[in-house]
Amino acid sequence: MTDPVIVASGQTYERRSIQKWLDSGERTCPKSRQPLAHLSLAPNYALKNLILQWCDKHMVELQKREPEPAAETEEHKEDIPSLVEGMSSIHPDVQRKAVKKIRRLSKECPENRTLIADNGGIPALIGLLACPDKKVQENTVTSLLNLSIDDKNKVLIARGGAIPLVIEILRNGTPEAQENSAATLFSLSMLDENKAAIGSLGGLAPLVELLRSSGTARGKKDAATAIFNLVLSPQNKARATQAGIVPALVKVMDDKGLGMVDEALSIFLLLSSHAACRAEIGTTAFVEKLVRLIKDGNSTPKNKECALSVLLELGTNNRPLLVHGLRFGLHEDLSKIAKNGTSRAQRKANLLIQLARKL
């Protein structure tokens, strides 16, 4: 997958593949088979960043599109310095046109991102984040998202003071700007120093708000991915809990149409390693929810695996909770998963069986 996009059902596909599916006359989601409310394809920036990070780590060259004609590339090289200058213009119309072009160019290829950064594009973009024009904000934060694909730019963007401004757009921007702000915070949080900064500057509360809003599936997935990355940092676990992450995640789990049970449980697993967070998560009602997922024949193997992991973490630290879960006839399900589940699920099921024997 090189160009992941999200369809109306919330599922992600490679752009070329899903476009071929739609061009053939199909109007349903290939995975869920549910009718698509619209045929728009939204870029999955969070997944694209993960793919690029993986390729960089494993020294894999990402498949590239057909190169642009040389003349057009040279024209872009000449355009970029004047566009960067235009973003600092005193004339709003010039600013608007310049940042719109920078957004497009920063998405197209790594060379453009390098040229934009080398020509002072990052400080110029950061200067536009506080612009009262909502469309300019949207194009600006999306340009920074594109630039943040490169690790050196992550550092420059954060140290240039962008994080609090991106958080403000996450709170008050257009729906698209809010989603792209969430994706930008995720991208920046790939660096540990930025995890701490985003948390201390109040980034978790608006991410949680986006997660529980009535927004798009793409926005919720970007918010969940950013939250997951941020709570890898211990100090952000308590911040997320204070921001209301627990009821927000429960709501996400209960919304079957979102298909985000695994994402929610993955965050719950990280939170359950923190004593204060575990106290809020560790309720009999939540344990019963985990048990239903484990016993439900319609749950995916990954759902069961994640639910087992969270139950094990809670049960290890609070034996009465595990006793409560076992009252619902869980022994038989644990035995089945220990034989037929995923390798990780088998390990978790066996550990729960051993723990249950000690009760």
Mean pLDDT across 160-168: 97
d(CA 48, CA 125): 22
Residue 236 one-letter amino acid: N
This prediction has a pTM of 0.79
Q: Comparing 114-118, 126-130, 255-259, which segment has the lowest mean pLDDT?
A: 255-259
Q: Comparing 32-46, 62-76, 245-259, which segment has the lowest mean pLDDT?
A: 62-76
- Reported as a pLDDT band with limits 50, 70 and 90, residue 184 is very high
Q: List CB contacts of 357: < 8 A, sequence separation 6 or more.
A: none
Mean pLDDT over the full length of the chain: 89
CATH 3.30.40.10, the chain: domain bounds: 4-58
Could you tell me which of 257, 271, 261, 243 has the C-alpha nearest to residue 214?
Answer: 257
d(CA 42, CA 39): 10
Mean pLDDT across 28-52: 80
Contact 62, 2 (CB under 8 A): yes
CATH of 4-58, one of 3.30.40.10, 3.40.50.300, 2.60.40.1890, 1.20.1530.20: 3.30.40.10
Residue 21 has pLDDT above 60, yes or no: yes
- Reported as a pLDDT band with limits 50, 70 and 90, residue 307 is very high
**CA distances in angstroms from 228 to 1, 151, 269, 283, listed in the order given:** 22, 19, 10, 21
Residue 219 has pLDDT above 60, yes or no: yes
CATH 1.25.10.10, the chain: domain bounds: 80-160
Residue 195 has pLDDT above 90, yes or no: yes
Q: Comparing 61-70, 83-92, 254-263, 274-283, which segment has the lowest mean pLDDT?
A: 61-70
d(CA 344, CA 288): 21
- Structural fold of domain 80-160: Leucine-rich Repeat Variant (1.25.10)
Higher-pLDDT residue of 70 and 102 is: 102
**Cross-strand partners of 14:** 4
Q: Comparing 28-42, 112-126, 240-254, which segment has the lowest mean pLDDT?
A: 28-42
- Reported as a pLDDT band with limits 50, 70 and 90, residue 63 is low
At 117-155, the pLDDT tens digits run 999 999 999 999 999 999 999 999 999 999 998 889 999
Residue 76 has pLDDT above 70, yes or no: no
For residue 293, the number of C-alpha atoms closer than 13 Å in the C-beta half-sphere is 26
pLDDT (0 to 100) of residue 55 = 84
- Reported as a pLDDT band with limits 50, 70 and 90, residue 281 is very high
From the centroid of its chain, how far is CA 292? 26
d(CA 88, CA 34): 47
For residue 297, the number of C-alpha atoms closer than 13 Å in the C-beta half-sphere is 0
Mean pLDDT across 174-178: 93
Map residue 232 onto helix, strand or coil.
Answer: coil
pLDDT (0 to 100) of residue 64 = 59
d(CA 351, CA 108): 48
pLDDT (0 to 100) of residue 78 = 62
Residue 286 has pLDDT above 90, yes or no: yes
